[in-house]
Chains A and B, each alone.
Chain A
Amino acid sequence: MTGNSKTAEDGSFRESGFADLINKEHHGSGKAVSLPCRGRDIALKAGLGLLLALAMAFIALPVLALFLRSPLPSIAEALHDPVVLDALRLSLATSSITTVIVVIMGTPIAYVSARFSYPGKELADSLIDLPVIMPPAVAGIALLMAFGRMGLAGHYLSSFGISIAFTTLAVILAQVFVSSPFYIRQARTSFEDVDIAMENAARTLGASRIRTFFYVILPVAMNGLLSGAIMAFARSLGEFGATIMFAGNFQGRTQTMPLAIYTAMQGDLDVALCISIILVAFSFAVIVLVKVLTRRVYKRC
């Protein structure tokens, strides 16, 4: 197994993707730059320090404001509001299902993309990445034009009595559409980082392709896959634009947490704040989790 951990080390340095963004500080531990003039050095440091403080305040202030706008007890009271409970339940359920779908379908796609080349691979890879760049509102109207009752495919589905738009299924479809690249990109780099020599060794020792995948490749890539799945889950939880256009906005059926914030803000602000605080707490948890998961890989070096 020494060979195994060796490759994990090699791989860890090339690991990139979204988890990489979160764990950036592990890369650039270069030496301090020494400038000839000491005074200029201090001025530069002070300037950079000020910039950093400003940037941190810019992000921290709005987050803090969420907690300070209303007294916390009245926000906590909003936790019992059916709007909050329905949105929480729906968001967790749909995002979980989405993550399962994305992992099951995305893992083989990511592996193929990392290991094999086939005609049209460039095009396929670009298509897979497209939803990251595509504005969610565009995704929403595109999904509606495809799967709506009058849509390209929805037209045929509805003649079989299947309707997708404005159902919970539409919420999941929208989430899969926007969050799949977050997993696939991360999984692709994780697979690329697995040393091909290990794969070949397992195959020459008589392991089947499937066995090699599950017993050799998957364990090495696991942390990367997990953090990719968490990022996809987080993206699904935050999905707004595509959902409201393709799935509509109905409490308990299609009104996920971001939609509930949008709707409640025009009525009961405390409800909107309550859901926002839950989502902020969740975002923090995601960052910590991804950090811990990817750091374990780094620690092995």
Chain B
Amino acid sequence: MRHEQKFVAIAAFLLAVSALAGAAYDDELTVFSAASLTGAFGEIGQLYENETGMAVAFNFDGSQALRTQIDNGAYADVFASANNKQMNALRYSGLINNSSVVVFAENKIALIIPKDNPAGIDSLSDLARPGLKIVMGTKDVPVGDYALQIIDKLGNESAYGPDYRAAVLANVISQETNVNYVVTKVALGEADVGFAYISDITEDLADKVDKIEIPDEFNVIAEYPMAIMQESKHPAESQEFLDLVRSDRGKGVLERYGFAPA
């Protein structure tokens, strides 16, 4: 009998916990957003909640990871991507409300180094130095794609020499699936340098990391599109969110994080 009571007690406990966890959140806006927007969209989401009273649930990850999740059935109201490629992939699958697509910001790539700069990096040519620890994104995540484009551009420049590209790639110790992991590895001091966005060097991180800017001739302009999903249950509220991002206040937040609002 004691055993049965125990069993019933455990079963009741598990049921209660799962009922709590399973409580439905029907009246909130689900925004799938590129990891590089974590800071900026976090603030804009707060603004949105204060004004509309509707909660915003964010899923921040690499744009390609979010695209994969949506492709496989994840529900989202709004998708914000760090490049056009992932947005177009979803448009191609017919999951995006095409008329809502809008490029709302531009970003650039910068080198991010730990504050104490253990490897003594001060120029782009240092990236080819043997033994350096570089982190970047995988080829599928926008930040990795952009980094590869920049390394290619530098490799084609005679000043950096023909072996530059191979030497830089040989120094890569890890390819991360979203930019936040790149930033974390550098901030922890586990890597000497990382390819991240200029917008990633936020005030919070200013005491841990520094940036080295990449000249415009070698840099790429990262375009950020956002759109409402075809399956959204809250199209009007989603449009409000898009409008807020493009309003003066939204632009102000984006600018403060280092984006160039479009």
Complex interface: chain A residues within 8 A of B173 (CB)? 166-167, 248, 250, 253-254
* A148-B138 contact given A166-B174, A250-B172, A254-B174, CB 8 Å threshold: no
B177 contacts A150, CB within 8 Å? no
Which residues of B17-75 are within 8 A (CB) of A? 62, 64-65, 67-68
How many of A's residues come within 8 Å of B, CB to CB? 21
Complex interface: chain B residues within 8 A of A165 (CB)? 190
Is B139 in the interface zone, CB < 8 Å from A? Answer: yes
Complex interface: chain B residues within 8 A of A251 (CB)? 175
Question: 0/1 per residue, A227-267, Cβ < 8 Å to B?
Answer: 00000000000000000000111110111000000110111
Pick from B62, B68, B138, B190: contact of A166, CB below 8 A.
Answer: B190
Is A188 in the interface zone, CB < 8 Å from B? Answer: no
Pick from B68, B139, B172: contact of A265, CB below 8 A.
Answer: B68
Question: 0/1 per residue, A267-292, Cβ < 8 Å to B?
Answer: 10000000000000000000000000
Identify whether the interface residues of A are mostly helix, strand, loop, or mixed.
loop
A8 to chain B, nearest CB (A): 35
Which residues of B118-139 are within 8 A (CB) of A? 133, 135, 138-139
B92 to chain A, nearest CB (A): 15
B172 contacts A148, CB within 8 Å? no
A249 contacts B174, CB within 8 Å? yes
Is A144 in the interface zone, CB < 8 Å from B? Answer: yes
B25 to chain A, nearest CB (A): 25
B29 to chain A, nearest CB (A): 25
Is A149 in the interface zone, CB < 8 Å from B? Answer: yes
A146 to chain B, nearest CB (A): 13
B8 to chain A, nearest CB (A): 20
Is B258 in the interface zone, CB < 8 Å from A? Answer: no
B177 contacts A266, CB within 8 Å? yes
Closest to A245 in B: B181
In whole angstroms, what is the CA distance A201 to B175 when docked?
58
Complex interface: chain B residues within 8 A of A167 (CB)? 173
B69 to chain A, nearest CB (A): 9
A267 contacts B140, CB within 8 Å? yes
Question: 0/1 per residue, B169-190, Cβ < 8 Å to A?
Answer: 0001111110000000100111
Complex interface: chain A residues within 8 A of B140 (CB)? 263, 266-267
Is B80 in the interface zone, CB < 8 Å from A? Answer: no
In whole angstroms, what is the CA distance A144 to B185 when docked?
10
Question: Apart from A150-B188, A266-B140, A266-B141, what are 11 other A-B pairs with CB-CB below 8 Å?
Answer: A144-B188, A166-B133, A166-B173, A248-B173, A248-B174, A250-B172, A251-B175, A254-B173, A255-B175, A265-B68, A266-B177
B residues within 8 Å of A by Cβ?
62, 64-65, 67-68, 133, 135, 138-141, 172-177, 185, 188-191
A residues within 8 Å of B by Cβ?
144, 148-150, 163, 165-167, 247-251, 253-255, 262-263, 265-267
